[in-house]
Structure 1
Amino acid sequence: MKATKPLPDTVRQWAQQRVGPVASERDASHDGDRSRVWELAGPGRARWYVKVSPSATFFTRETRAYRHVVPALGHSRAPQLIDSRAEDLAMLLTVAPGAPVTGLDVPSASWRSVHEQAGTLCARLHTPGTLDTGGQAEAEDALRAAADGVEKHLGRAGYRLTGDEQQLVRGYAARLRRIGPVPVGYVHGDNQPKNWLWSGSAVALVDFERARPAACVQDLTILAATEWLDHPDRERSFLQGYGRGLTGAERNALRCLTALDAANCLAWGPDNGDPEVTARGRRTLDRLMREDRP
């Protein structure tokens, strides 16, 4: 059982100044030290969430996304930012409808609907018009930056990858640097079902701490390495909601990105006691090694 994390007094007082008396609070954090989220209950059925970011970078990314990009998703399709407190890296958020889809017993037909709606929401995020001049430049450089980060992942993963696997990942990083132009926009950054809420009829997105300007295809990496491998119908549904298929350059980039993701998973997963992330990386590497053999 995870240890309950207490809501800091300064954050509680600040939240009550913004929304009024808080009758109760519940630790709603995920497992792991970096997640710090609390559900607050007020008079009647009023509810809010308080999130304390793990770093200033994540705080800046998430508050920027809530203020400038998330409103494009539409009413009730994401939490709304009530206020933020930079001194504590704290955000006060409304509650979006639904529950994380990964914890629900969702029928196959509904899974297709979930992916189709998620595709529609991602398309709204990825609209190039959301980027200013600096964001456009950052997005256009995102694939090269991802390729440049591969040595850091390999160094942290160490012995968890064989020499041949390291060579494979480096090859995909080099290939990623040669990818031609691809569509860019504002991406969620951790786009996967654990960050999708399902109300039974509608999807909402949560957790925007990794949101940033990037190549749009980067938002599909985790889905391509997990959900879509076993359920190609879900990929078709997502792209139907997305409103377009992927270009050849995007397909090429996506394969490269899954290889880089695998190295990152095998660096981060074991170090943070996350067997799901570790398994994702191992499965991807095993698959790419099989498929790339002459």
Structure 2
Amino acid sequence: MSSLPGLDPAQQAWVTERMPDAQLVRDMSWGLVETTVLHVRAGGDDVVVKAAGPSDTHLPREISAHAGYTAPLILTGHAARLRDASAEVRVILLDHLPGELVLGTDAEWQAATYVQAGVLLRRLHEQESRTDAEYEARATARQLYWLDQPHRIDPSIAARARHVLASAPAPAVMLVPTHGDWHPRNWLIDDGVVRAIDFGRFDFRPAATDFARMAAQQWRERPDLEAAFLDGYGSDPRDPELWRLEALRQAVGTACWAFKVRDEAFEQQGHRMLSEALAAYDGS
């Protein structure tokens, strides 16, 4: 086995022990965060190697997701099976799924894609639910923390966002197992079949939070795609007041995180999201 890019010595040794004949097929890493994603071939099988740096928080979440909540999707071939994992070494092995990312393809703008994505998300969400009296306060506090970090948000906009967040309601809410980044960048399409990837932001949250990425991007000018998704999902869990607040939290997090990782295009999206989210509070 030749050395695989992006792995530290301990990760390389761990992978070699399990797949001594692994050969790199493609480096699928995004290059924005300290996570390496590799498509390798070993023993005739196609495998995904995901390795994380020391400050990464996503890999443990992905391990948790596969430990208890991806089974309904894996059973039907709509998510990858976890082959092996080491939280200590910060590396996991997954079956490689066929298909290409939906993002940037014609499928990104086809209603049939969103019907399937809605069905899959409902199957993830419906496995368990729990009431949490502190979730909303925690979620808002995280975005106030982001506003305390370096960012390029206009001071007047940041002050307005801070005011709205500081006075936001914090009722008890129902939480379900969520993907955390549910949108076309984390869907594959293969001969018309949609599959889900990357559970690195898995956590228990309100179901509506998994709608936020699509609402800020694909649904903005395509309400038909939103309608198709809801048709597949089967209902609309969004409470108007909490959805307005979630849009603001998502906007703050996007603008600040994108600045941190130097993704200028995503940062600009975050600024646009902020303007739109705050506009929803005008007059309130």
TM bucket, shorter chain: 0.7 to 0.9
Q: Tell me which protein shows more strand as a share of its residues.
A: 2
Aligned with 1:265 (options 244, 249, 254): 254
Give ranges in structure 1 of 5+ residues lacking alignment.
none
Distance in 2 between residues matched to 1:231 and 1:157, nearest whole Å: 34
2:80 is the counterpart of 1:79: yes
TM-score, normalised to structure 1, is: 0.84
- State how far apart, in whole Å, the 2-side matches of 1:140 and 1:186 are: 17
Count of residues in correspondence between the two structures: 278
- Whether the 8 Å CA contact 2:188–2:194 is kept in 1: the answer is yes
CA 1:84–1:174 in structure 2 vs 1: closer, same or farther (change >3 Å)? same
Q: Does 1:246 align with 2:243?
A: no
Contact 1:23 1:43 in 2 (8 A): no
Structure 1 residue 161: Cα displacement: 2.7
Structure 2 residue matching 1:151: 3-state secondary structure: helix
2:33 & 2:194 partners in 1: Cα distance? 28
Give the AA of the match of 2:144: E
Q: Deviation at 1:289?
A: 4.2
Over aligned residues, Cα RMSD in angstroms? 2.5
Point out the more displaced range, 31-40 or 282-291.
282-291
Alignment match, 1:215 = 206
Tell whether the 8 Å contact from 1:49 to 1:95 is kept in structure 2 after alignment: yes
CA–CA distance in 2 between the matches of 1:52 and 1:92? Answer: 9
Q: Per the alignment, in what secondary structure is the counterpart of residue 148 of structure 2? A: helix
Residue in 2 that maps onto 1:42? 42
> SS of the residue aligned with 1:103?
coil
Give unpaired runs (5+ residues) of structure 2: none
**Paired residue type of 2:80:** P
Q: Which residue of 2 aligns with 1:143?
A: 136
Look up the equivalent residue of 1:206 and give its one-letter code: I
Aligned mates of 1:31, 1:114 — CA distance in 2? 27
CA–CA distance in 2 between the matches of 1:115 and 1:128? 21
Amino acid at match of 2:92: M
Bigger mean CA deviation after superposition, 7-16 or 99-108: 7-16
Contact 1:173 1:260 in 2 (8 A): no
Q: CA deviation at 1:158?
A: 4.8
Once the two structures are TM-superposed, the CA of residue 50 in structure 1 deviates from its matched residue by 0.7
The separation in 2 between residues aligned to 1:176 and 1:212, in whole angstroms, is: 21
Letter in 1 for 2:51: V
Distance in 2 (alpha carbons) for counterparts of 1:117 and 1:39:
25
Change (3 A) 1:141 1:11: same
- Provide, for residues 134-165 of structure 1, a one-character-per-residue CA deviation record: whole Å limited to 9, x for no partner: xx35x553222111222212122555233245
- 1:7-63 deviation digits (Å, cap 9, x = unpaired): 34543443344355224453221122422111111244x210110134464232111
Query: Could you tell me which residue of structure 2 aligns to residue 14 of structure 1?
Result: 14
Rate the CA distance shift 1:231–1:94 in 2: closer, same or farther, 3 A: same
Identity across matched positions, percent: 25
Check the 8 A contact 1:128/1:184 in 2, yes or no. no
Q: Is the 8 A contact 1:154 1:166 kept in 2?
A: no
SS of corresponding position for 1:156: coil
Query: Is the 8 Å Cα contact of residues 100 and 195 (structure 1) preserved in structure 2?
Result: yes
Q: Please, which moves more after superposition, 213-222 or 9-18? A: 9-18
Correspondence list, 1:86-101, <5 A = 86-101=87-102
Q: Is the 8 A contact 1:140 1:184 kept in 2?
A: no
